[in-house]
Amino acid sequence: MSVPYKPEEILGYKADNERRVREAAQRGDVFVDGMPLKVTMELTADCNLFCRMCEFPAPREEGRKKGYELDMRTELFDVLAPQVFPHALMVNLTVVGEPMMVPYLDRVLEQARDWNTKIEFITNGMLLDQAMIERVGPQTAAMIISFDAGTRRTFNRIRIGADFDVITRNMLLFERWRKALPEGAFRPALHMNVTLMRENVEELPVLVRVASLLGVDRVNCAWMIAFNEKIADSSCFRHKALANACLRRAHAAAAEAGVDLVTPAEIPGVSEEEISAVEVREPVLPSGPLPHLQAMLAGGAAPEIIAMPANAEESFHALGANIPVAGDAELLRELNGETLQMERAFGSPLQQSAEERRLQGQVAAAGSPLPTLGVGIPAEPSCEGGRYTCKFLWNELFVSLTGDVAPCCIQGRPVVGNVHKEPLSLIWNGPMMQEMRKGLIEGNPVPCCKDCNYNTQLGQGDYREDTFFIELDRKL
């Protein structure tokens, strides 16, 4: 072990830090007497897929051509790691990239092992073969697979470059691996994250049954955010009755299958008559949802599968799949290099408002350094009584490829500091973080918190449709 502490000392230290963070959150303190329990470090913005609902593939490819760095430099990681791993219970390795593609992944795993920190992998699952499972599994807190359909045809057309059969096989391999862990060992979670859109919402009940067969612990769903007009008609907010009917069917399927299903609140403005009248066309699957895994599900060996992902022509491209195509190049040329690198491919999906820029400009180091203290159950104030809540401000931080720090990765979040200029401990309780916490507690949140879909998807506050239809200003 390369750290100067015994494992029991590290565990005791982290337990005390966790207690103080949670108590501060429960009290609604604006100054948190402890360090964040979870940190997202954007170690890579690279990815092996072109998902139709993602705005990053085209800018990423343009950035690649221009030689922009797609990974956090190892020098920055080496600066950041001792400020994160000794304190955090859990880290996440990327937001818009594929964590299995981090070039110095073994270095990250070593830090996690030495400091008893678990890693949350949010992955597309294509690279999660048996060798990768054995490599990352011991340090995994949760393996969260981005999974956006219940059938291979729809899945492959949404997640260009991925193959439903390969990913479900890999998920079952992971389930087998964790079930074989010795009694008393930490057992990582296995989750699915689902982006709900018109093309897949009718398959949500089938997806739930897929999750049940694969041993998935939880299925987490969120409404798709349409980032341009090409993809706007895929938003469930343009198919409200259908979306609500599918949510209800999915919850019935989850109750029957014993699956923990977390969905956003139903979309308002739809009558019971409209929901009852809508026609829901669930896929008919006479051989079941996973015919390629029948032998494996019965205890047999994992099958060899040749990946056959859809190509651009087979995708939902006509409905707006976000892949580089003729016409996109002109739009991309309008972006200057700095904006492309900092705001599009590797950071903010939504430009900040003038007010948010003003607040960001006020950020400065303040106070004396916090004590160097240091798994991931969110610590947050209650939202009872109409108060806003947040799973990030009292619990998490986000650090971009270039060292910019934000409270979260939600669209429009402000930058509250940079680790090149000040330590994470000062940023965590800096003036902007305290102002944001104070605004939530007092019911007067700063703009990005006021419009955040985290609260509305929980059923707290009203949906604002303009936060699900984002018109990007490509000439900033």
The model's pTM: 0.84
Report pLDDT digits (tens) over 462-474: 777 777 877 543 3
Is 178 a residue whose pLDDT tops 90? yes
Q: Would you say residue 338 has pLDDT above 70?
A: no
Residue 461 pLDDT class (50, 70, 90 cuts)? low
Rounded-to-integer distance, Cα 162 and Cα 170, Å: 12
pLDDT at 320 over 60: no
Whether residue 60 is predicted with pLDDT greater than 90 in this model: the reply is no
On the question of pLDDT at 420 being above 60, the answer is yes
Ordered strands of the 404-406 beta sheet: 260-262, 218-223, 189-196, 140-146, 118-123, 90-92, 38-41, 396-399, 404-406, 417-418
Most confident of 40-49, 292-301, 340-349: 292-301
Checking if the pLDDT of 344 tops 50, the result is: no
| Range in 53-67, 109-123, 339-353 with the lowest mean pLDDT | 339-353
Q: Give me the pLDDT at residue 312, please.
A: 63
**Arithmetic mean of pLDDT over the chain:** 82
Band of residue 388 on the pLDDT scale cut at 50, 70, 90? low
Q: Where does the pLDDT of residue 47 fall: very low under 50, low under 70, confident under 90, or very high at 90 and above?
A: very high
Of 179 and 64, the one with more pLDDT: 179
Under 8 Å CB-to-CB from 224, ≥6 apart: which residues? Answer: 53, 195, 196, 197, 231, 234, 235, 236, 468
Q: Place 314 in a pLDDT band, splitting at 50, 70 and 90.
A: low
Query: In the structure, what pLDDT confidence band is assigned to residue 446 with cuts at 50, 70 and 90?
Result: confident
Per-residue pLDDT at 54: 85
Query: Greater confidence, 91 or 444?
Result: 91
Residue range 290-310, pLDDT digits in tens: 999 999 999 999 999 999 988
Residue 241's pLDDT is what? 97
Tokens 């299958």 belong to which residue?
257
Cα(212)–Cα(218) distance, integer angstroms:
9
Please state the rounded mean pLDDT for residues 81-92: 95
pLDDT tier at 311 (50, 70, 90 boundaries)?
Answer: confident
pLDDT tens figures, 235-251: 999 999 999 999 999 99
